[in-house]
Amino acid sequence: MSTTLSLAEELIARASITPADAGCQDLIAKRLKQIGFACETIADGETTNLWAVRHGAAAGTGKLLAFAGHTDVVPPGPLEAWNSPPFSPTQHNGKLYGRGVADMKTSLAAFVVAAEEFVAAHPTHTGSLAFLLTSDEEGPATDGTIKVVERLQARGERLDYCIVGEPTSHKQLGDTLKNGRRGSLSGKLTVYGCQGHIAYPQRNPIHLLAPALAQLVATEWDRGNEYFPPTSWQVSNIHAGMGATNVTPGEIVVDFNFRFSTASTADTLKQRVHAMLAAHGLNPGKEYTLDWNLSGVPFLTQPGTLSNALMQAIKNETGIQAQLSTTGGTSDGRFIATICNQVIEFGPMNESIHQVNESISLDDIEPLKNIYFRVIEQLIA
């Protein structure tokens, strides 16, 4: 068994359902301390965060490469649906199974072992190497990476490069890198009417909202750009009424979400929604209320040193020409981008993430570690 595979299995065996860390970061910190990393635990609420750094010979002038990731995992779901216990790593038919194997404990193991091999090969390396880990990525993400970033900002620390170990590969290891993510803006819209007998309707809030809702659905918010698809607006929930067929409701509640590109801003999207509601005779405070939640702004890393290094490492290791992409949901890269100009996500296959029987190919584990090693060597040796 390879060192990377062994460590991945140790991490998977820890049932670190968000926001629990279940000792994963202690295990990683112990290994990092053995190769000269200074490790700092930053706890907030139920969340455990780790900031670990090994400065190079040119500390203060050399580049700093950080690996960011999360030790928490989503719940396994119905245990009877799994072919093997989710927190008992199992090898079967060329694959490794377990909750978090793809998202993202194999990435963590691969980068730790890559760091160990790099320090052994380059004990007097020029640049610095760091880890930024959290147990609050799969949850609300309020006490995790953002707290570490805030502390680093307060100390005036910045990162030059950051690899986020999210599972980005689509059809084969190394085919996709994420150089950005869309922002996420949610809204809870409540339109008020007058509850009453359906035979004597007064102000039915469903009818009041319907024209505006049709316009919101049909609107082209932007056309995206060379890196992002157009902004999308989607309704997730609509609720009105009490279940009776002879009563008009007093209100209708609509939950919706924008996944928006850098072609729009949260403020302009908010303004356009309010303008559409006003155009259909709905006034804030009286006819409706709208509560907003901005959970992430879009970020984009232009092609450059880090993406080129990753592409070259992938090409050398696998023969694959990686492609840049900004698809998918939000990630902690949105927080790190505030203190790092070059943030790229790269990790194993994502076809089974958050599913029962989550798995990755055993044949991908060592190449993933080797790709990380090649990048470290190229950027900070």
Kindly state the average pLDDT of the residues 158-181: 97
How far apart are alpha carbons 205 and 203 in whole angstroms? 6
**What is the reported pLDDT for 222?**
97
Q: What residue numbers does the annotated binding site for Zn(2+) cover?
A: 70, 103, 138, 166, 354
Tens of pLDDT, residue by residue over 53-100, are: 999 987 778 999 999 999 999 999 999 999 999 999 999 999 999 999
Q: What percentage of the chain has pLDDT greater than the value 90?
A: 95
* pLDDT, averaged across the chain: 96
Closest CA to 139 of 330, 339, 291, 293: 330
Kindly state the average pLDDT of the residues 136-158: 95
Q: Which CATH fold topology does 183-296 show?
A: Alpha-Beta Plaits (3.30.70)
Q: Is the pLDDT confidence value at 18 over 90?
A: yes
Query: Catalytic residue numbers?
Result: 72, 137
Strand partners, 345: 164, 178
How far apart are alpha carbons 116 and 28 in whole angstroms? 11
- pLDDT tier for residue 31 given thresholds of 50, 70 and 90: very high
**What is the reported pLDDT for 328?**
85
Question: What is the 3-state secondary structure of the chain?
Answer: CCHHHHHHHHHHCCCCECCCCCCHHHHHHHHHHCCCCEEEEEEECCEEEEEEEECCCCCCCCCEEEEEEECCECCCCCHHHCCCCCCCCEEECCEEECCCHHHHHHHHHHHHHHHHHHHHHCCCCCCEEEEEEECCCCCCCCCCHHHHHHHHHHCCCCECEEEECCCCECCCCCCEEECEECEEEEEEEEEECCCEECCCCCCCHHHHHHHHHHHHHHCCCCCCCCCCCCCEEEEEEEEECCCCCCEECCEEEEEEEEEECCCCCHHHHHHHHHHHHHHCCCCECCCEEEEEEEEECCEECCCCHHHHHHHHHHHHHHCCCCEEECCCCCCCHHHHCCCECCEEECCCECCCCCCCCCEEEHHHHHHHHHHHHHHHHHHHC
Q: Is the pLDDT confidence value at 32 over 90?
A: yes
- pLDDT tier for residue 169 given thresholds of 50, 70 and 90: very high
Domain ranges of the chain: 3-181+298-380, 183-296
**What is the reported pLDDT for 50?**
98
Kindly state the average pLDDT of the residues 25-32: 98
Kindly state the average pLDDT of the residues 145-155: 96
CA dihedral 199, 204, 206, 209 (to 10 degrees): 150
CATH 3.40.50.2300 holds for 3-181+298-380: no
Q: What residue numbers does the annotated binding site cover?
A: 70, 103, 138, 166, 354
